[in-house]
Structure 1
Amino acid sequence: MNENVENLVLEHLRAIRADMARLADSMRTMQTEMSAMRQHLAGVVTLQEHDHGDIAALKSRVDRIEKRLDLVE
């Protein structure tokens, strides 16, 4: 009976090891995906900052045009 218990414990340990290996693979995949998402988000933020600069320049131009045409209230 002692041998059966030992075999049962070994089976459980092997199953746990297999589960841990699957979890480790899953974590590596998630880390890769998170890294890609961070890079994508950094690109989006850069574009947004550029767009804010363009909008500010356009606002300045519109303000000058309104001032020259005496359209300012």
Structure 2
Amino acid sequence: MSENVNNLVLEHLRAIRATQADHGERLMQIELQLSALGQQVGGLTTAVYSGKSELDELRRRVEHIERRLELKSA
């Protein structure tokens, strides 16, 4: 009887270990995907701020042209 209990405990421990290993692999995959998403967000943020900077420069140039052509008061 005691041997059956020991075998049952070992069987459960093996199942727990296998589940933990699977969770570890899945967590590693999630971390890789999260890292990739972080890099993409960083790239998008850079692109947005670059576009905003270019838009601000165009706005300044148009305002300068409007003042020079007296289309808009200073």
Q: TM-score, normalised by structure 1?
A: 0.93
What CA distance in whole angstroms lies between the structure 2 residues aligned with 1:18 and 1:54?
54
What CA distance in whole angstroms lies between the structure 1 residues aligned with 2:72 and 2:13?
79
Structure 1 alignment gaps of length 5 or more: none
Write out aligned runs for 1:1-73 (5 A). 1-73=1-73
Letter in structure 1 aligned against 2:56:
A
RMSD: 1.0
> Offset of 1:68 from its aligned partner?
1.7
Following superposition, which runs of at least 4 residues in structure 1 exceed 2 angstroms of deviation? Answer: none
What CA distance in whole angstroms lies between the structure 2 residues aligned with 1:43 and 1:4?
59
What CA distance in whole angstroms lies between the structure 2 residues aligned with 1:30 and 1:71?
57
What CA distance in whole angstroms lies between the structure 2 residues aligned with 1:15 and 1:34?
28
> Offset of 1:69 from its aligned partner?
2.1
Letter in structure 2 aligned against 1:44:
L
Number of aligned residue pairs: give it: 73
Letter in structure 2 aligned against 1:19:
T
Structure 2 alignment gaps of length 5 or more: none
